[in-house]
Amino acid sequence: MKRPLSIRQQNILNYIKDFMGKNSYPPTVRDIQTGCEISSTSVVDYNLQILQREGHLQRRREVSRGIELLGESAASTLRNLISVPVVGNIAAGEPLPLANTEQWNDTDFDNVDLPPFLTKGKENVFALRVKGESMVDALVGDGDLVLLESIEQPQNGDMVAAWLKDREEATLKHFFLEGDKVKLVPANSYMQPIT
């Protein structure tokens, strides 16, 4: 059975809910300190530990915004999430064959629920799971999900899922247009660009 929360703990919990409702991401400890007019971050940390122990939230201390609401506390923030299809895998290394995109159907894919700020209000966003290590210097590792927007013409330096027509394969790289040639550059100094 959960113990009743102190006024300060209830204020912190309400602040976190309100902050997440407005921003779609959790506050930092410093945000909570300022927003709740608490004297120090250690007092915030102490109360967050109690809220975690009582099952109101979960914390990942290694992440500055690592607060996740649980149970009833989370219910009010979940309605703001949007669903993005995970349409397959993308090579970050050697290119991989990709399914025929003309045959894609929204019901064919798993979805990931995300806060709206990650898609910046764009509707043509999809996710791919990364296979390989060619983008590790861009902090994209094997198994990560990348969010991509379907666009006609990328800008130099954009990270793109590029379709290699001659190989009928797709790869995740940085895009550069050099004259009339496209250069796909990995974010890994041990790997060569594709020209």
Q: Residue 168 sits in a domain of what CATH number? A: 2.10.109.10
Q: What are the tens digits of pLDDT across the range 39-81?
A: 999 999 999 999 999 989 888 887 788 888 887 666 555 556 7
Residue 14 and residue 74 in one domain: yes
What average pLDDT does range 166-193 have in this prediction?
Answer: 90
What's the total number of domains in the chain? Answer: 2
Residue 70 and residue 140 in one domain: no
| Domain end residue (candidates: 25, 49, 78) | 78
pLDDT at 12 over 50: yes
Residue 62 and residue 87 in one domain: no
Q: Residue 42 sits in a domain of what CATH number? A: 1.10.10.10
**Domain range spanning residue 66?**
7-78
Task: Please list, in sequence order, all residues whose beta carbon lies within 8 angstroms of the beta carbon of residue 165, skipping any fewer than 6 positions away.
Answer: none
Query: Distance between CA atoms of 77 and 79, rounded to whole angstroms?
Result: 6
Q: Quick check: is 190 in a domain? A: no
Residue 74 and residue 89 in one domain: no
Please, what is the end-to-end C-alpha distance for the chain in angstroms?
63
Residue 128 and residue 105 in one domain: yes
- pTM score, two decimals? 0.56
Residues recognised as catalytic: 134, 173
User: Degrees (nearest 5) of the Cα angle 30, 66, 119?
Assistant: 105
Q: Quick check: is 138 in a domain? A: yes
Residue 160 and residue 122 in one domain: yes
pLDDT at 14 over 60: yes
Residue 89 and residue 160 in one domain: yes
Residue-by-residue DSSP string for 49-86:
HHHHHTTSEEE-TTSTT-EEE-HHHHHHHHTT-EEEEE
User: Which band of pLDDT confidence, cut at 50, 70 and 90, is reported for residue 110?
Assistant: confident
pLDDT of 107? 57
Residue 177 and residue 98 in one domain: yes
Residue 26 and residue 86 in one domain: no
